[in-house]
């Protein structure tokens, strides 16, 4: 029996909703919250009219978003400085893209945001002695602190020499600032300018050639420049042949489903 009709004292007929009608109305009342499970599959719902979205245009139209290209540690200003510096260390040329297009600055940002940035696997307790350059850094500052101080001093030095922040200098001026850091010409006492330059250069190369998982080597283009095959599962089909150029493969390719 779907419903019954009742008489009010004044003689008017009142329709009593059935269970199905109650569920439908309740679903509309709460904005369509009853949508899942067996009950939700039985309830017809009005589909809201969606406004038409304009068709995407431009170079990024149809390209999926790379959510790995996001900042985890740097501020926007710090990122601009690092991106400008690594591009001078690893510039784009006829061989292929430079550090900027390879996402090297994102690689460094992600590394600093993790355990590497706080020297999590290294002995960092006193006493601290000044070591030889070949021994590497021997101080109390972790890598995050070193980068923060160095990037601030790069801007300070650029301002004192050229009246602009590092990211706003010409390429030749940026090269001059980096050379002054490399040669310890910049008068710093808190950190070693040349020590920071070596760390930045090493990070640049690591970001250009590491697996894209870590934020750099965008689209494996760093590997393609070197004809490096990346993470291949096997070379059995070409091991006895002459040099064979093959498409590189990242760690993502080893997922059973992606």
Cβ atoms within 10 Å of 170's Cβ, excluding its own? 10
Find how far residue 196's CA is from the centre of its chain. Answer: 23
3-state secondary structure (DSSP) of residue 179: helix
Low-confidence ranges of the chain (pLDDT < 70): 1-63, 133, 136, 256-258
CA-to-CA distance for 40 and 230, rounded, in angstroms? 48
CA-to-CA distance for 198 and 107, rounded, in angstroms? 16
Distances (CA, A) of 200 to 147, 206, 231: 9, 10, 25
Residue 105's pLDDT is what?
98
| Residue ranges covered by each domain of the chain | 16-43, 76-225
Q: How confident is the model over 153-187, as pLDDT tens digits?
A: 999 999 999 999 999 999 999 999 999 999 999 99
Instruction: Give every CB contact of residue 97 below 8 A, 6+ residues apart in sequence.
Output: 218, 221, 222, 225
Instruction: Give every CB contact of residue 126 below 8 A, 6+ residues apart in sequence.
Output: 140
CB 230 within 8 A of CB 248: yes
CA-to-CA distance for 15 and 7, rounded, in angstroms? 9
Cβ atoms within 10 Å of 147's Cβ, excluding its own? 25
The pTM (predicted TM-score) of the whole model is: 0.71
């Amino acid at each position: 029996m779907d419903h019954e009709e009742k008489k009010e004292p004044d003689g008017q007929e009142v329709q009593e909703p059935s269970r199905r009608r109650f569920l439908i109305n309740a679903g509309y009342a709460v904005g369509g919250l009853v949508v899942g499970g067996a009950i939700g599959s039985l309830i017809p719902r009005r589909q809201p009219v969606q406004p038409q979205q304009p068709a995407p245009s431009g170079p990024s139209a149809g390209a999926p978003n790379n959510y790995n290209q996001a900042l985890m540690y740097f501020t926007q200003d710090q990122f601009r400085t690092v991106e400008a510096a690594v591009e001078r260390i690893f510039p784009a040329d006829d061989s292929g893209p430079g550090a900027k297009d390879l996402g090297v600055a994102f690689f460094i940002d992600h590394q600093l945001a993790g355990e590497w940035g706080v020297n999590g696997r290294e002995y960092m307790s006193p006493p601290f002695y000044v070591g030889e350059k070949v021994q590497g850094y021997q101080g109390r500052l972790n890598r995050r602190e070193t980068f923060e101080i160095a990037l601030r001093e790069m801007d300070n030095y650029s301002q004192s020499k050229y009246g602009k922040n590092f990211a706003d200098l010409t390429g030749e001026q940026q090269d001059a600032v980096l050379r002054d850091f490399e040669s310890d010409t910049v008068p710093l006492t808190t950190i070693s300018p040349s020590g920071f330059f070596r760390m930045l250069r090493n990070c640049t190369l690591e970001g250009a050639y590491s697996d894209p998982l870590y934020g750099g080597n965008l689209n494996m283009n760093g590997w393609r420049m070197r004809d490096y095959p990346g993470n291949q599962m096997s070379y059995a089909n070409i091991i006895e042949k002459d040099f064979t150029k093959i498409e590189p493969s990242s760690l993502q390719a080893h997922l059973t489903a992606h």
